[in-house]
Amino acid sequence: MDSTVLFALGLTLFAGLATGIGSFIAFFASRTNTKFLSVSLGFSAGVMIYVSMIEIFFKAKDSLTGVHGETYGYWLTLAGFFGGMIFMAFLDRILPQLGNPHEVRTVEDMDEGPTNAEYARLRKMGIFTALAITIHNFPEGIATFMSAIQDPALGVAIAIAVAIHNIPEGIAVSVPIYYATGSRKKAFQYSFLSGMSEPVGAIAAWLILMPYLSDTLFGLIFAGVAGIMVFISLDELLPAAKRYDEAHLSIYGLVAGMAVMAVSLVLIV
């Protein structure tokens, strides 16, 4: 295993562990800083959208048009891009509604103690949420890994953006599990394990995709990664950021994320 692969796997592990940070916040913070949450989720969306549309999409296009020609290569790029979106939309449709990870919870939700009749429902909700986030994090792990393999600096940016949006997902898992079981340990374990699907996705990409990697496969994967990240941003991050928005903070975060990503790409070049 060379150093680039180790680095890429390390980035996906870092991003996955951020769900555990969400658990710690839920347990030890007295209240949620909604302004920070709105800005940070908007920032993460800005990074993902900018890097997907400006960097990843065109890397995919260059790879595919170089092999298949300008017209057919571009159509393949579009197929990969919208295929990534359709894939994530399909996951959303098949996941149980109680486990939809797009429902961001806050520390304050822990103050709403359940009645006895709600314990079983909360435990089911927590497990479904953990399952939903596990399934969602798998393709994110592939996206982070493949980006880092192609461009380590790009991989770092994507890993940071993914880690930011994994923090409230950690809260979403830990809050119902904690209230259903009364155990902080179990709540943290479920949250931690749901995040570990991120490096599992990276390992799957390394073992299954890497041996067959060609310009065509790379282009299709990268186009799909761009579609996945844009879909996550529009369907998950921005709606969650707007929920806690005050004075357009989520949009300011979005613009700041795009600007930071744009400047970093210029500096890297």
Supply the pTM of this predicted model: 0.69
- What is the DSSP code (8-state) at residue 111? G
Q: What is the pLDDT of residues 232-253, one digit of tens each?
A: 888 877 887 777 666 688 889 8
The Cα–Cα gap between 222 and 64 comes to 10
Query: Is the model's pLDDT at 266 over the cut of 60?
Result: yes
What mean pLDDT do residues 59-87 have? 94
Q: What is the pLDDT of residues 197-234, one digit of tens each?
A: 889 989 988 888 888 878 898 889 889 988 988 988 88
Query: Is the model's pLDDT at 13 over the cut of 60?
Result: yes
Token couple for 52 = 């997907």
- Report the binding-site residues for Zn(2+): 140, 165, 169
- Report the binding-site residues for Fe(2+): 137, 140, 166, 169, 198
Averaged confidence pLDDT in the chain = 79
In 115-141, which positions are buried (b, 16+ CB within 10 angstroms) versus exposed (e)?
eeeeeeebbebbbbbbbbbbbbbbbbb
Which of 93, 98, 206 is closest to 144 using CA atoms? 206
Confidence of residue 122 (pLDDT cuts 50, 70, 90): low
120 vs 169 pLDDT, higher one:
169
Token couple for 53 = 């549309």
The Cα–Cα gap between 148 and 10 comes to 10
- Report the binding-site residues: 137, 140, 165-166, 169, 198
